[in-house]
Structure 1
Amino acid sequence: MPKINSTLVSEKTKKAALLVVALAVFTDMLIYGLVVPILPKYATSLGASQTAIGFLFSSYAITLFIATPIFGALSDKIGRKGPMLWGLLGLGTATILFAFADSFWLLVVARSLQGLAAAATWTAGLALLADLYPSDERGKIMGIALSGQAAGTLLGPTIGGWLYQLGDYRLPFLVAAGLAFIDGLLRLFLLKDVPHPKSEDSPSPFKVLRNRQLLIITGVIIIGASVPSVLEPTLPLHLQKVLSATPGVIGLLFAVPTLAYGLATPIIGTMSTRIGYIKAIIIGLIMVAIALPLVALPDMLWLQVCALAFLGISMGMVLAPCLPQLADISQKSGINSYGITFALYNTAYSIGMMIGPIASSTIADAFGLTISYMTIAAIVLLYMIFLTITSRSQS
């Protein structure tokens, strides 16, 4: 992949690209989160079990997993702009399909198409930022981009829950389709001056997978992605039972960890550059292992809010340092193919999103919510120990 000389790119162009990527990630996660407070109830009305609902949420990640390597290679070969526009088209189509789905399997198709769209948008967008910004700025820039993710995830459940109560099942998705159209216009106009490098000679994904450091960070991303997806199929029903929460209140509660995540990630991005990405990740894993079981314990609203806020900060501490760490490993290893590198990020993220809902739903069905979250927290601690040992052996 031809490298862009970041010193020759104007600050205006860099900021336009950052804005486009942050908005793209925001829109994707807004529509992703829109369904959280309403989809379990709607799927149940169509005859779906708790395990089936877990599969429904995981179908997004399954498609993301399959499509990400393809779009990673494509974005290296043809440039970043095309895949970002394709992703938007897929997202708009999925949103309309959600609005008119009248069977469980149509919901699965719509959720899967969302994953396909995210594969294009995320891979090309993150690679574009790595193209334009040098290593010493990536921690901060990736943190800002992830704030777009957090803002979308924050507003998605909130908007979805309240629009559902104000109108009907279709209203949230029709509003989201309008937002996707606006986002498409912004991508067209703001990306017109961004450099458009492309290459016919992109490295094989299997070459990237032979890099042990990249694979270790991939494991961290899987864990970081699984944490919010653990909550999606299980926590809404728990909140209904324990706190008698309505869909609107559930949407607001899901906003708490994402708000904390969004506010924390720019700070975490800058801090992780100073203390080292690996050290920041280790601290984040410890925090997640403590925070996740706490989410299942409160029987009072304010305690639930505190537990979810702590979990959101913990997720930011895990994921924010991973993006610049991947880019740095890729650059130092001579790969310099950010499309493939961030395809690895998306692939790992999708694995986490597949594992999380299925694991939490299955364990919760058998042993209850608290045991489910404690089991996942124990796995997080084990990986933290492994990361600590391997990072010391490499230093």
Structure 2
Amino acid sequence: MSQVKQRKQFKNPIWGLGSFQALAMFRRGLFYTFLSIYMRNFLGLSVTATTLYATIPMILSVIGQNFIWGPLSDKIQKRRTLMIIGEVVAGILLTVVWYLHTIPSSKLVAGYIIIIGLTVIELFWSMSNIGWSALISDLYPSKTRSKIMGWLNSIGGVGRIIGATIGGLLYGSDGWQYEGWGFDKGALFIVASGIMLLSTIPMFFTQEGGKTKSTVLNEETSQNQLNDNPVLTIDKKIIHQIYLIFVFSMVFINFGRNSIATIQSQYLTLETGFAVDSITLSYIANVNSIAVILFGIITGWVCKKIGEDNALLVGALVGVLSLIIYSLPVGLPFIYGANIGQGISELVIYASSYMYVSKLIPYEKRARLFALYNATFFLSWGLSGTVMIGPIVDLLLNRGHAEVFAYRMSFVIAAGITLIGLVMFFGLVLHTRKLKIRKEIINLF
């Protein structure tokens, strides 16, 4: 009888996942920290137009996750495979996008080619995103997920620091090259593409994920325990309602705090404001990452100690306060402090919300329902900026208001949106406690 030789795998999947996360965040720090100012300052797009590189691709990402890759992943029970295919295809296409955007003589047209190109690429990145979310839930029980997410974000923070530092050098505003050189001549595109291809290597040595005998056994055991405990006998419709209200509150929390993601670097580089160069901008971004690294080590402990619902409330509140600081006429040291707050807020919100929602999702619907949850993150990085923040800044500028004032007003609005989500989730927490729904409830609908 012939035997199939199995690929050697990491005994602990954290090695593969951590390596992938570090490289993924390296690429994001390298590329996206500076893309907005390239499109605004070098290509000359409006503030609203610069948000489109996050909005349109993210819309396609959500469509891909919810209607293509999520259902496909649940059907074939493949997670790692989708991640590898998505990263390889996206990595190749990113270099193609750079070449295409250099062809037209019009800088405005070049900017829209980048937006269209990133939109096509995001369809394949969404394969990787949904595979990542489902894989972590497949490999780790709910009680350890917040700890794992904290560690992975800390590891990713290291990668983001290195990426942002190198990106600041390659962008070219410190005198050795002209501002925007790294994007214009392709260095940032090509390095980011190479990192995406490199990130697939550790995944070949990581478990596939999906439904296995052990996951089925764990799910059945959990369900039997729920059935045997009258305290936990709760209508599945109630759990479904909790899931939907939770996702709706996350829309406001994420849309608020991330609505300024594409314009924040523009604000910091304003000649009438802080006027930071690309190197200083990388330092500011790295302070955020350092906060993620240090706090990520204890995030799991914090979520377990105070509960993921309380942790999410605290994370959202810190996010609101950080946005308020950005809206005030303060010095650069306060901006560094606000970025520390943003890093902690992002980490706590991501880890605690993931742990919260993962308890509500059964494995047979894991990819599809995680796709809806992921949509609150992915759409928030662009859509709210395009439909609200960007137009408001452009409107104020067109009416003759100072640039600094226009951008500061955007941070006030972002803080207000985040606060709405915070209040909404706080109401949900009070409601579930009134119903005596315990945190251990998992996989009920």
Normalised to the residue count of structure 2, the TM-score between the two structures is: 0.75
Q: Does the 8 Å contact 1:21/1:126 carry over to 2? A: no
Give the aligned partner of residue 56 of structure 2: 59
The alpha-carbon deviation at position 272 of structure 1 amounts to 0.9
The alpha-carbon deviation at position 321 of structure 1 amounts to 0.3
User: 1:292-341: CA deviations, max 9, x gaps?
Assistant: 1202335533222112112211222222101111111114xxx6432223
More helix by share: 1
Are 2:332 and 1:301 aligned?
Answer: yes
Question: What letter corresponds to residue 341 of structure 1 in structure 2?
Answer: L
The alpha-carbon deviation at position 84 of structure 1 amounts to 0.9
The alpha-carbon deviation at position 159 of structure 1 amounts to 2.4
Give the aligned partner of residue 123 of structure 1: 130
In structure 1, distance between residues paired with 2:26 and 2:72: 25
Q: Does the 8 Å contact 1:32/1:156 carry over to 2? A: yes
Aligned counterpart for 2:422 among listed residues 361, 374, 384: 384
Structure 1 unaligned blocks of 5 or more: 1-11, 200-206
Q: Does the 8 Å contact 2:164/2:285 carry over to 1? A: yes
Question: What letter corresponds to residue 63 of structure 2 in structure 1?
Answer: I
- Equivalent residues in 2 for 1:130-149, closer than 5 Å: 130-149=137-156
Q: Does the 8 Å contact 2:250/2:421 carry over to 1? A: no
User: 1:73-101: CA deviations, max 9, x gaps?
Assistant: 22222211221111112320243134322
Give the aligned partner of residue 217 of structure 2: none
The alpha-carbon deviation at position 377 of structure 1 amounts to 1.0
In structure 2, distance between residues paired with 1:305 and 1:128: 34
Larger radius of gyration: 2
Question: What letter corresponds to residue 59 of structure 2 in structure 1?
Answer: I
Give the aligned partner of residue 370 of structure 1: 408
In structure 1, distance between residues paired with 2:297 and 2:372: 22
Identity among equivalent positions (%) equals: 22
How many residues of Structure 1 are paired with residues of Structure 2 in the alignment? 371
Are 2:34 and 1:38 aligned?
Answer: yes
Q: Does the 8 Å contact 1:38/1:160 carry over to 2? A: yes
- Equivalent residues in 2 for 1:171-190, closer than 5 Å: 171-188=187-204, 190=205
User: 1:246-270: CA deviations, max 9, x gaps?
Assistant: 1222122122223313332342232
Normalised to the residue count of structure 1, the TM-score between the two structures is: 0.84
Q: Does the 8 Å contact 1:25/1:122 carry over to 2? A: no
The alpha-carbon deviation at position 357 of structure 1 amounts to 2.5
User: CA 1:27/1:263 → structure 2, altered by over 3 Å: closer, same or farther?
Assistant: same
Give the aligned partner of residue 202 of structure 1: none
Give the aligned partner of residue 89 of structure 1: 88
Structure 2 unaligned blocks of 5 or more: 1-8, 103-109, 214-235, 397-405, 434-445
Give the aligned partner of residue 240 of structure 1: 269
Aligned counterpart for 1:276 among listed residues 307, 313, 319: 307
Question: What letter corresponds to residue 119 of structure 2 in structure 1?
Answer: S
- Equivalent residues in 2 for 1:8-19, closer than 5 Å: 13=10, 15-16=12-13, 18-19=14-15
Q: Does the 8 Å contact 1:88/1:184 carry over to 2? A: yes
User: CA 1:89/1:375 → structure 2, altered by over 3 Å: closer, same or farther?
Assistant: same
User: 1:323-367: CA deviations, max 9, x gaps?
Assistant: 111111114xxx643222322222221221233432322222334
